[in-house]
Amino acid sequence: MNPSEKRQFGMPFKGVIPQEPPLELFVWDADSISTAGKPDVEKLVPAPAVPKPEFGSYPQAPEYTLNAELDRSYRRGWRYAAPFWTFNREQERERMLEIRMPPNVAPTRLNMHTRSFVCDPIPGMVQLPLGIPLVHQVNGDPKRAVTVVCAHTLTTLAQYKEGPQIAALVPRLMELTWGREPSGDNPGLPAIFEHIGMKTNLRSKVVNLSKFKNDGSYNLASTHGEGEGHGHFAPAVQTNTPEAAVAIKEVLQILHRLYRLVMPLCISRFEWDMMEFNGYENNVVAFGGIEPGPTSCQGNASSAANVFDLDLPADGAPSPIHVLPSDGDPLPIQVDLDLPADGDNSPTQVDDSEQVNESEEVDLKKLLRAILESAGLDTALGPQGSPHADLKDDPLWFTLFVLAFCLPPGSDLGAFLWMRGGIYLRETNEYLFLCSFKAQDIHSGSAPTYIKRLLDAMISLDQAKMLFERFGTQVRFGYVLYPSLSATTHNVPILYSPSSSQPELKKPDKYARVPANLWGLLPAAKQGASIPLQPLNAKVILKDDTDIYKIAAKMLCSLWDEHLILKQMFHVDAYLNPNERKVKSRSELFAVRDRCIARGAILQCLADVLGDGLFASTSMKTFLIRPSRLFKDNKTRDSHMARAIERDEAATLQALDTYLATAVVEDPELLTICAELAELTHKGLLSLKLGHSLSDKEFEDPHGSAAASEHSFTKLAATSKGATNRRCLKPLVNSQPTLATLLPKKPSFGIAAIIIREALADRRKKAPTVETTIFRRLLTGHHPTTGDRTLRDRDQMDPICADSSWELDRAARRQSTLPASTQSLTSFFSLT
């Protein structure tokens, strides 16, 4: 070899013949092989095919044959293989370009004894056995085997030594995925797709979020930016709230660990080692950990489903979770379908002639066909819910699909199909699948099918609550852990940190003034208006960038205070303090700011301890006028208290927190009284929404026949044409209404602030904004959605100013029985 052709480091330019490594090196240790043993079925034979459709073609599977002897190249030891002939590649390509969803993807019958849906085999395809890889051998050569797909559940994963580690990760992942209801000191946790500010990706732009709240596809780890050259690969920008950031970080860490544990159990040792080599050699940066793994994560949330409302006989069969109860005596089975077309979920009654007898199975094929076309995953996920290939994935790597369901036993979870191999996955009575496959092959899923009555029954079961700590609208969620070709090959710029080169900034002509609508300030009264900045103190020394940022932040906050916050709070303060000076001098504005800081802090303390009962009191004006009078010593002036809160909020408010805690301990009945006051508020607000005064029975059972009407508080409509897509409350199961559920997406103190603001705006004869119309109507006794005047009892229709003599007498009787130490606090929260 010519020395001039050598390189100092690495491989020579030429003259080296690559040698194929012997496959005997790529086997797993004998003690790591699955304990499941040899499968009983020798061949997977595709179901009989059906005639080719008029347009397109259906998937067609070959026969998959089990290996004759134990094969330690796979951890399972056994795999089903079929040849893939390269001379048919062009024909296969044309067939994939016109592929269509085959028949029998949806269930066709319902077994009344087991209460489970029954599905006919999908024509021309083979059903994937759990835990066993399916392999394609290129031109029939066993040494050139490529894993097509392998799917696991927690049951099949328990056959490996990694099983306990995997099982330990799943409960926390399910909690972060589906959320957790608040209880006691536990603040609860929203589902991963419900965090405030979560944004779906471009593939979900066709999803109608007004009909499918929170449905869609979310980039959780990274994204491929486009628009300049080949684009760039960068971290995904989701909501930046601390709660969401912590939840997403933990989810990604769990998923990275699952990928490292599960993937070797799905593919061959050669494929795993090649991915490891590629990851380390090319410095592929994975999410959730420093070891090689997937570079991107996509979360697909879906509420799309085919829902049946069936009267089931009482003698149901046991399920893996529980015997689902059925009330009453056995009745003739009447089939009602929830047709999702046009967003209408009200059940459509089947004609009396359609009633069936109590036979073993009910044929649903004709009934299902009417809704399957409008209940597919594409309605919730867009293109991700229909047959597609992910062409931007690295074909040398594998995707791991973590698919979770929140459905009752017996439900059809929907089939997941791999078109080129003619393979489909369909199981019942599972809630988690982990599937490995190459996502460049065309694949698709179908919407699940379930019985509404069984889902409602499952929600109340303790066994179900061990799996799902919260139930919502979404019933299917999938994490797609995939290798982006951009990240694994470095063929585009990869952004790890902000760019060092910034575009040239346009310098303002005047440094002493800023636009009147800058940084969220109120709209300017006239175009081109500007606001003067406060002069910079001559003693301020700007040594470096840190000093400049500090002074800029201080000046920006000053702008917000003066032009956005204080001018609005001045109207509140003027109402609460009518005898104060009317001159809006700078000193008076600062005094208003101090009083508002003190009011806000005290209101938050009271709300934290006493709950929604706080908002039923009309005596709060006593301390709202001069909040600092609740304290002694050096906090007797509002300005002193505001400065103390800004310096150390916890220490300043400790006296009030201690007093409230002591009062509750000395007389626990105080919380009962506050709860009664809260009920008055809730009852009034709920009456407004339902359009009639609620009886005690209706209020105590918000999911009963009265409150479950189309005006139910769980389906609060928007108050204007433009707000339709912004306010849609998810129903909470078996829970009394609270301010949080009655007025969604507003914290309790935020609701109080809006109510105060709107009350004052009404007195000033100022029209409400579009976003606050509902709160104005709640205060003035109008129906919140129609705006009609509701001539009802004042107690029911104006809870903030309730003056029922019965409620007054009840509060007085409660107060007379309290010890002296809590008398003042109780009288403070009475209704007078």
User: What SS3 class is residue 492?
Assistant: coil
- The DSSP bridge pattern shows strands 306-310 and 449-451 to be parallel
**Identity of the highest mean pLDDT range in 149-158, 237-246, 674-683, 735-744:** 149-158
Tokens of 82: 């079929």
User: What length is written for the chain?
Assistant: 832
Residue 498 pLDDT greater than 70, yes or no = no
| pLDDT at residue 697, rounded to an integer | 72
Local confidence band at 628 (pLDDT 50, 70, 90 cut-offs) = low
Work out the angle at residue 588's Cα, subtended by the Cα atoms of residues 586 and 591, and round it to the nearest 5 degrees: 115
Burial of 640 (0-12, 13-18, 19+ CB in 10 A): middle
Local confidence band at 800 (pLDDT 50, 70, 90 cut-offs) = very low
**Identity of the highest mean pLDDT range in 41-55, 100-114, 382-396:** 41-55
| pLDDT at residue 565, rounded to an integer | 60
Residue 467 pLDDT greater than 80, yes or no = no
Q: Which residue has the higher pLDDT, 472 or 486?
A: 486
| pLDDT at residue 404, rounded to an integer | 92
Q: Residue 495 and residue 232: Cα distance in Å, rounded?
A: 7
Q: What integer is the mean pLDDT of 382-400?
A: 81
Please write the tens of the pLDDT for every residue from 256-282.
Answer: 999 999 999 999 999 999 999 999 988
Q: Which residue has the higher pLDDT, 77 or 784?
A: 77
Q: Residue 128 and residue 403: Cα distance in Å, rounded?
A: 15
Q: Which residue has the higher pLDDT, 716 or 408?
A: 408
Q: Which residue has the higher pLDDT, 489 or 149?
A: 149
Q: HEC profile for 242-302?
A: HHHHHHHHHHHHHHHHHHHHHHHHCCCHHHHHHHHHHHHHCCCCCCCCCCCCCCEEEEEEE
Residue 231 pLDDT greater than 50, yes or no = yes
Residue 83 pLDDT greater than 90, yes or no = yes
Please write the tens of the pLDDT for every residue from 810-825.
Answer: 433 333 333 333 333 3
Neighbours of 735 (CB within 10 A): 13
Q: Which residue has the higher pLDDT, 456 or 437?
A: 437
Residue 253 pLDDT greater than 90, yes or no = yes
| pLDDT at residue 505, rounded to an integer | 41
Local confidence band at 630 (pLDDT 50, 70, 90 cut-offs) = low
Please write the tens of the pLDDT for every residue from 12-23.
Answer: 666 777 777 888
DSSP class of residue 830 equals: S
Query: Residue 373: left if φ>0, alpha if ψ -120 to 50, beta else—which one?
Result: alpha
Local confidence band at 794 (pLDDT 50, 70, 90 cut-offs) = very low
**Identity of the highest mean pLDDT range in 76-80, 86-90, 412-416, 707-711:** 76-80
Q: What integer is the mean pLDDT of 520-538?
A: 58
DSSP class of residue 23 equals: G
Cβ atoms of residues 685 and 741 within 8 Å: no
Q: Residue 603 and residue 714: Cα distance in Å, rounded?
A: 27
The domain segmentation of the chain, as residue ranges, is: 23-150, 513-576, 595-828
Average pLDDT, the chain: 70
Burial of 354 (0-12, 13-18, 19+ CB in 10 A): exposed
Q: What integer is the mean pLDDT of 536-541?
A: 65
Q: Which residue has the higher pLDDT, 420 or 743?
A: 420
| pLDDT at residue 378, rounded to an integer | 53
Q: What integer is the mean pLDDT of 766-791?
A: 59
Local confidence band at 389 (pLDDT 50, 70, 90 cut-offs) = confident
| pLDDT at residue 710, rounded to an integer | 38
Q: Residue 399 and residue 435: Cα distance in Å, rounded?
A: 8
Residue 39 pLDDT greater than 60, yes or no = yes
| pLDDT at residue 55, rounded to an integer | 83
Local confidence band at 623 (pLDDT 50, 70, 90 cut-offs) = low
Scored b (16 or more CB within 10 A) or e, 523-561 reads eeeeeeeeeeeeeeeeeeeeeeeeeeeeeeeeeeeebee
Q: Which residue has the higher pLDDT, 134 or 345?
A: 134
Neighbours of 684 (CB within 10 A): 26
Q: Which residue has the higher pLDDT, 735 or 320?
A: 735
Residue 765 pLDDT greater than 90, yes or no = no
Residue 27 pLDDT greater than 60, yes or no = yes
- Helices 748-763 and 566-576 cross at an angle (nearest 10°) of 70
Q: Which residue has the higher pLDDT, 162 or 671?
A: 162
Local confidence band at 241 (pLDDT 50, 70, 90 cut-offs) = confident
Q: Residue 283 and residue 489: Cα distance in Å, rounded?
A: 10
| pLDDT at residue 693, rounded to an integer | 72
As beta bridge partners, residue 404 has: 432, 477
Q: Which residue has the higher pLDDT, 559 or 88?
A: 88
Residue 738 pLDDT greater than 90, yes or no = no
| pLDDT at residue 160, rounded to an integer | 95
Q: Which residue has the higher pLDDT, 113 or 446?
A: 446
Residue 502 pLDDT greater than 50, yes or no = no
Local confidence band at 479 (pLDDT 50, 70, 90 cut-offs) = very high
**Identity of the highest mean pLDDT range in 340-354, 387-401, 792-806:** 387-401
Tokens of 451: 């019985």
| pLDDT at residue 332, rounded to an integer | 30
Residue 391 pLDDT greater than 80, yes or no = yes
Q: Which residue has the higher pLDDT, 61 or 387?
A: 61
Give the lowest-confidence range in 113-127, 372-386, 461-475, 563-577. Answer: 372-386
**Identity of the highest mean pLDDT range in 210-214, 319-323, 779-783:** 210-214
Give the lowest-confidence range in 151-165, 708-722, 784-798. Answer: 708-722
Please write the tens of the pLDDT for every residue from 419-432.
Answer: 999 999 998 888 89
Give the lowest-confidence range in 131-145, 613-627, 635-649, 739-753. Answer: 739-753
Residue 717 pLDDT greater than 50, yes or no = no
| pLDDT at residue 720, rounded to an integer | 31
| pLDDT at residue 42, rounded to an integer | 94
As beta bridge partners, residue 437 has: 149, 399
Phi, psi of 240 (to 5 degrees): -105, 20
| pLDDT at residue 294, rounded to an integer | 93
Element (H, E) at 432: strand 432-437
| pLDDT at residue 307, rounded to an integer | 76
Element (H, E) at 118: strand 116-118
Local confidence band at 407 (pLDDT 50, 70, 90 cut-offs) = confident
Q: Which residue has the higher pLDDT, 829 or 562?
A: 562
Please write the tens of the pLDDT for every residue from 362-371.
Answer: 666 544 433 4
| pLDDT at residue 611, rounded to an integer | 74
Q: How many CA atoms lie within 13 A of 684 on its CB side?
A: 29
| pLDDT at residue 572, rounded to an integer | 64
Residue 188 pLDDT greater than 90, yes or no = no
Element (H, E) at 756: helix 748-763
Phi, psi of 55 (to 5 degrees): -125, 135
Q: In percent, how much of the chain has pLDDT > 90?
A: 22
| pLDDT at residue 662, rounded to an integer | 84
Q: Which residue has the higher pLDDT, 273 or 513?
A: 273
